[in-house]
Structure 1
């Protein structure tokens, strides 16, 4: 049953537990296990639709799926609580790393490599569990396998978008007459008008910030503009955003390349979305501090 309005978004903090899981696909697998199979907050088809939508949108896909689940359960407050519960532990941990591990190189630490190997099992379980539900039959299975192979051979954001479009067209052509499994209609506790307002705000900030940056020479504003563009224009997981961030924070003198790489090593060691690497970058930047970290 949906959360009633008087409970607000506090149920969204169930997402807080997700901080113990690693990286986007592992996150999606945990979401599936927790919110589809165990809690039954939404069914298989609705969850698959959410994942497909968030993979198609720019920004961190796993964070967006978590936010969408929070909105589906408890409206905008639920989405906000889900985002905080999912991202805040990792952000705090990376700020702590920035404070404690300055100058240390942990990129190739043995214990870090061991944790990354453990994550492979989580990802494999997630892929297998979702494949058995969503890629049934030879044709669907073939589409899924070929999509995975092409994605690994050509790991670019445009190829990912092209795969989604082509796979969708193939599915529309060959499966449009299939009898759809009866599913529960997803009810999002947000109006169309509110959605349009937020979409307008998204583009307004995206275009206004660079103009303000040209007219107002303020490092805090410049940093906010750089990180907003990185989150708004990049498709794929956190690794895709790293080159864009590096180009913005190192040549500008906000930090050294060694500091950037050390922070990346710390981000690999911390569970949660890799996009919270931005909290580390804000903390070790020339301005530094908790406020700038939160801004980043």
Structure 2
């Protein structure tokens, strides 16, 4: 009998196989990627450019530039874009799930521990987590200011944004500072033009991209209106978290003031529990946006628990996914617009000011109550900035120091 050539897998089967490949690759990274978004981008390059060769250095650098330009969790958006290019929409969701779920599950478990043992919330170890949060946010302000405020104009935008947020400590004040920073940057900042990049097919048409961007904007407006119409606490929480995910520029730490202004004043999360969870989030691998799962888990009834954690986790990442997938077909034209570059420079500077205001209130005012607290925070800051010690060990040392001082 004549030999028959082996049957080729169908395109759908090939995509499914690649999606599983993407899931396992990102799950391994989600379990081991400590150190924040900059470290995550280094891990991604090692894994997908050097080791697996799914894309080259030029394509990877272009994706990083796009995700730094957009609001949202930059490292997660780069991962989603890699998964999208490798295995379509299934690959995008697999990349997000693999990289995000380990940290989300760990933070939900921490929230469950606080619920089971209420005395834990007032323990010295949890207070130590709040003190470490001071050092972590201070490190973020320090490094972002050096990178994003290199001249007097942008330093002035950052200072003005901080003063505005301190004078109007609400979500509206934070958004207003970011919008004003973008306006000042658009009309006053001067930047060198970017060189053109070679054209690459993003795998998404411009029509689809435009629909995704329109959906992202529509949800930003519709969710608060729908929550008010239906008087739904869950929808109000989803609207707050979605807005934070859609307006975060400059890294995961910037989500802190946006979320705090949205969930603490209504009484959904106690400020001490908020900062304790934020400190715990530094000790887990993966994206800091997984902190939304913790918030969902600690909220009181009718919210709270695993269901609320899952809903808020999806809500905070949804705008980032829609934005990166929607912007891919338009990226080359967008990145070369001088006005867009100048506006983003002003926005990034304003974000530094917003985060600096959050460093004072609520982070500092809620955690530093004595000279000993300040000493622990200063030591943690030195370990992070000067010693470049892993945040995991700094968080563990801070919790131990808090427990020792409490005892």
Q: What's the TM-score once normalised by structure 1's chain length?
A: 0.75
Unaligned runs of 5+ in 1: 117-145
1:255 to 257, 261, 269: 269
Which residue of structure 2 aligns with residue 15 of structure 1?
A: 26
Instruction: Verify the 8 A CA contact 1:58 1:232 in the aligned structure 2.
Output: yes
Correspondence 1:92-131 to 2 at 5 A: 92-102=105-115, 103=121, 104=123, 105-106=125-126, 108=128
Tell me by how many angstroms 1:150 deviates: 2.2
Tell me by how many angstroms 1:92 deviates: 0.6
Which residue of structure 2 aligns with residue 205 of structure 1?
A: 219
Query: Is 2:311 aligned against 1:295?
Result: yes
Tell me by how many angstroms 1:244 deviates: 1.1
Would you say how many aligned residue pairs link Structure 1 and Structure 2?
255
Deviations 1:136-170 (A, max 9, x none): xxxxxxxxxx85672997598758x969x979x52
Unaligned runs of 5+ in 2: 1-12, 116-120, 137-145, 162-177, 313-407
Tell me by how many angstroms 1:267 deviates: 0.6
Which residue of structure 2 aligns with residue 244 of structure 1?
A: 258
Instruction: Verify the 8 A CA contact 1:75 1:190 in the aligned structure 2.
Output: no
TM-aligned CA distance change 1:74 to 1:189, over 3 Å:
farther
Q: Of Structure 1 and Structure 2, which has the larger fraction of its residues in helix?
A: 2
TM-aligned CA distance change 1:166 to 1:186, over 3 Å:
farther
Correspondence 1:116-155 to 2 at 5 A: 147=147, 150=150
- The list of structure 1 runs, each at least 4 consecutive aligned residues, that deviate by more than 6 angstroms after superposition, is none
Instruction: Verify the 8 A CA contact 1:70 1:78 in the aligned structure 2.
Output: yes
Instruction: Verify the 8 A CA contact 1:95 1:283 in the aligned structure 2.
Output: yes
Tell me by how many angstroms 1:6 deviates: 5.0
Correspondence 1:1-296 to 2 at 5 A: 4-13=14-23, 14-19=25-30, 20-21=32-33, 22-102=35-115, 103=121, 104=123, 105-106=125-126, 108=128, 147=147, 150=150, 158=181, 169-172=191-194, 186-286=200-300, 287-296=303-312
Instruction: Verify the 8 A CA contact 2:54 2:86 in the aligned structure 1.
Output: yes
Deviations 1:64-110 (A, max 9, x none): 0000000010111100100001111111110001011451544636x
How far, CA to CA, are the matches of 1:70 and 1:61 in structure 2?
14
Instruction: Verify the 8 A CA contact 1:107 1:264 in the aligned structure 2.
Output: no
Instruction: Verify the 8 A CA contact 1:90 1:270 in the aligned structure 2.
Output: yes
Instruction: Verify the 8 A CA contact 1:10 1:81 in the aligned structure 2.
Output: yes
Give the CA RMSD over aligned residues.
Answer: 3.3
3-state SS of 2:71 partner: coil
TM-aligned CA distance change 1:16 to 1:208, over 3 Å:
same
Q: What's the TM-score once normalised by structure 2's chain length?
A: 0.56
